[in-house]
A and B are shown apart, each in its own frame.
Chain A
Amino acid sequence: MQTKVPLSSRAAVTVLFILVAIYFVFPLYWLVVSAFKTNAQLFQYIQPWFPPHLSIIKNLVELFSYNSGEFTRWIANSFIYAGASALGATLFATMAGYSFAKYDYPWMRTIFWIILGSIFVPVTALVLPVFVLMESLHLINTYWGVILPSLVSPFGVYLTRIYADQGVPDAILEAARIDGASEWTVFWRIASRLLAPATATVFLITFVGTWNNFFLPLVVLNSSSKFPAILGLNLWNSLNAEGHAKLMYNMVITGAVVATIPLAISFILLQRYWRFGLTSGSVTG
């Protein structure tokens, strides 16, 4: 398609867009460059380029070994929280979304609408009551305290439902039933395969959601050995700001890069699933 736009305004738009790109990329560029600097260099060479002697290895060693490797533990915790939550949430949401799409009995519709409505309940409004619930279940400061509430993904149910409506033809399911397959087999052998793109998207969304979650672990966890990476970095940063600990800007910065890498990789590798999650969000309008 060729729209009528004069060359001069095309050039202007291009320049504008380069500035826009710089706005979005510069902070990340600064973060990566800063991970190559020592604490002293962060303040001496504030220019956003690489310092004379690169200290990335030294920073990484310090990051992963400081305080008997607490950051290593935080990253492992993040994988545990995000992995377990995403696995459970995806399984539950896929089964439920499939059921809502393919059985569709009148009594189910009310339940579905309640679930859909809950997408609009601000999650932070739940954090405090969840804290009280976890306290009465003695799950404060445990892995379960973070994982159990993260198993609920109403958006995942919705996403799977709209995908199953189109992506899983009734005829295939009916053919399998005539061949004598049970409902259980129909789901696991046939439907689950057809649902794979939706499942991958739900997994990705719940994994990243839990990895990035701050408010819930902040409230539920109180010993730093249980912290996920995000919470740990916040702890270091506030110690830093209060001047309690030794200066560790370099470690917070290097840690921030390390804690972002798994997500960045998932975005690059799984772009098509992300786009699916995004478009299904916009289709609802």
Chain B
Amino acid sequence: MSVRTGTDSASGIAAQARQNVNIKRHLYALMFILPFLVVFIGFYVIPIIIGFHLALFVSVFGTNHFVWFQNFINVFTDPDFYRGLLTVLLFAVIQIPFMVLFALLIAFVLNTRLVKGSKIFRFLVFLPYAVPGVISALLWGYLYTPGISPIVGALRHMGLSNFTFLGPGVVLISIMNIVTWEWTGYNSIVFNSSLQAQPVELDEAATIEGATWWQVVSRIKFPLLLPTVFLVLIFSVVGSLQLFNEPFIISSLTSLPYYYTPNMYIYNEAFSFGNLNYAAALSFVLALFTFLASFLLMRYALPKRGNS
């Protein structure tokens, strides 16, 4: 035999070995993601399938009847569902722009060092985020309750004796205030970190050229920040549609309808009225609306890459 065939079989073995290593790597790659995949499929994917399956039935005296999409059709024509949806949309339309502008203001002032002691200030503003959402709602609930609240006390002392935070027209604004208090600091820190990542040369050059604070902010910093602003917007819209903790806690202080927000409707339908099938259909439609809202925002509102 010649030397040639020897090297041939040697490179064949080498190729075989490489292939083995390659297969082994694929297996390791799979092994590393496997634990996550198991819990992801078990407690994310399967529940979605179960929920959908559940939504295709109605339960009459304990026996399930297959009704195709009747529950979904009912949801789409359910005035209570639309009332809840309207509440969270109203909430979103007022609260989100207010909170985002508030957070932007804080971020820009901190970023351009307009005030002294910005480190302490940043910490104080971020503090509410460290408070569990339910506790924030409880805390503000007390601050809205006459008799215990120094705020209501002061307002009544000033002559507004009938003032209430919990009346039918006002309570939504009171809930907006809780959510604003919880999330403004968080969002302003998100904006602030994004601002810190911006190149400093641009606004230094602009300042040397004689640009004012407002010009630097509005012409340079804000346009560069837009992608982050839209990301915050999308997460806020998703959060608003899911509104539950705050109105749920507040409903122990004042009476709110069981359908006040879509998620309160889902909870009450399932656990106060025991109609799991319909609640599952409601969950699906709400998820659909949420997806739709974030999709539309991403598709049409998000600034295109490369433009900025």
Show the binding face of A for B, using Cβ within 8 Å: 1-5, 10, 13-14, 17, 20-21, 23-25, 27-28, 30-31, 34, 42-43, 46-48, 88, 91-93, 95-96, 98-100, 103, 105, 108, 111, 115, 118, 120-126, 128-133, 148-149, 151-152, 154, 157, 183-184, 187, 211-212, 214-215, 218-219, 230, 233-234, 237-238, 241-242, 249, 252-253, 256, 259-260, 263-264, 266-267, 275, 278-279, 281-285
Write out the residue numbers on chain A whose beta carbons fall within 8 Å of the beta carbon of B135.
230, 233, 256, 259-260
Write out the residue numbers on chain A whose beta carbons fall within 8 Å of the beta carbon of B25.
103, 183
Does B68 interact with chain A (Cβ within 8 Å)? no
Give A43 to B290 CA distance when docked, in angstroms.
Answer: 43
The answer to whether residues A25 and B36 also contact, given A132-B50, A132-B51 and a CB cut-off of 8 A, is no
The answer, among B39, B124, B194, for a CB contact under 8 Å with A24, is B124
Select from chain A the residue with minimum beta-carbon distance to B118: A17
In chain B, positions 105-156 with a C-beta closer than 8 Å to chain A are 106, 109, 112-116, 121, 124-136, 138-143, 147-150, 153
Give A134 to B244 CA distance when docked, in angstroms.
Answer: 22
Give A4 to B204 CA distance when docked, in angstroms.
Answer: 12
- B138 A129 Cβ-Cβ under 8 A: no
- A284 B231 Cβ-Cβ under 8 A: yes
Select from chain B the residue with minimum beta-carbon distance to A137: B42
Chain B proximity of A212: nearest CB distance (Å): 4
- A105 B47 Cβ-Cβ under 8 A: no
Would you call the interface of chain B mostly helix, strand, loop, or mixed?
Answer: helix
Would you call the interface of chain A mostly helix, strand, loop, or mixed?
Answer: helix
Interface size on B, residues (CB 8 A): 100
Give A249 to B109 CA distance when docked, in angstroms.
Answer: 39
The answer to whether residues A183 and B47 also contact, given A263-B131, A285-B227 and a CB cut-off of 8 A, is no
The answer, among A256, A267, A282, for a CB contact under 8 Å with B193, is A282
Chain A proximity of B159: nearest CB distance (Å): 17
**Told that A5-B212, A5-B213, A21-B121 touch, could you supply 17 new A-B pairs with CB distance under 8 A?**
A3-B216, A4-B213, A14-B116, A21-B125, A28-B128, A96-B36, A103-B26, A105-B29, A124-B266, A132-B54, A152-B40, A219-B271, A230-B132, A233-B138, A253-B142, A263-B132, A278-B189
Select from chain B the residue with minimum beta-carbon distance to A148: B43
Does B256 interact with chain A (Cβ within 8 Å)? no
- B28 A183 Cβ-Cβ under 8 A: yes
- B207 A148 Cβ-Cβ under 8 A: no
Write out the residue numbers on chain B whose beta carbons fall within 8 Å of the beta carbon of A125.
51, 283-284, 286-287, 290
Write out the residue numbers on chain B whose beta carbons fall within 8 Å of the beta carbon of A4.
207, 210-213
Does B73 interact with chain A (Cβ within 8 Å)? no
The answer to whether residues A129 and B47 also contact, given A108-B33, A252-B138 and a CB cut-off of 8 A, is yes
The answer, among B32, B150, B197, B291, for a CB contact under 8 Å with A96, is B32
Select from chain B the residue with minimum beta-carbon distance to A150: B43
The answer, among A13, A99, A131, A275, for a CB contact under 8 Å with B32, is A99
- B150 A152 Cβ-Cβ under 8 A: no
Does B90 interact with chain A (Cβ within 8 Å)? no
The answer to whether residues A28 and B35 also contact, given A21-B124, A128-B51 and a CB cut-off of 8 A, is no
Write out the residue numbers on chain A whose beta carbons fall within 8 Å of the beta carbon of B140.
27
Does B263 interact with chain A (Cβ within 8 Å)? yes
Does B80 interact with chain A (Cβ within 8 Å)? no
Chain B proximity of A267: nearest CB distance (Å): 4
The answer, among A20, A31, A95, for a CB contact under 8 Å with B106, is A20
Write out the residue numbers on chain A whose beta carbons fall within 8 Å of the beta carbon of B129.
267
- A154 B40 Cβ-Cβ under 8 A: yes
The answer, among A3, A24, A34, A212, for a CB contact under 8 Å with B181, is A24
Chain B proximity of A6: nearest CB distance (Å): 10
Does B294 interact with chain A (Cβ within 8 Å)? yes
Give A124 to B252 CA distance when docked, in angstroms.
Answer: 21
Give A278 to B184 CA distance when docked, in angstroms.
Answer: 14
Give me the 3 closest cross-chain CB pairs, A-B, nearest first.
Answer: A285-B227, A129-B51, A99-B32
Most chain A C-beta atoms within 10 Å of own C-beta, residue among B150, B197, B212, B216: B150
- A122 B241 Cβ-Cβ under 8 A: yes
Does B164 interact with chain A (Cβ within 8 Å)? no
- A92 B35 Cβ-Cβ under 8 A: yes
- B50 A281 Cβ-Cβ under 8 A: no
Most chain A C-beta atoms within 10 Å of own C-beta, residue among B54, B193, B279: B193
The answer, among A14, A100, A128, A184, for a CB contact under 8 Å with B276, is A128
- A13 B115 Cβ-Cβ under 8 A: yes
- B128 A152 Cβ-Cβ under 8 A: no
Give A92 to B31 CA distance when docked, in angstroms.
Answer: 11
Write out the residue numbers on chain A whose beta carbons fall within 8 Å of the beta carbon of B286.
122, 125
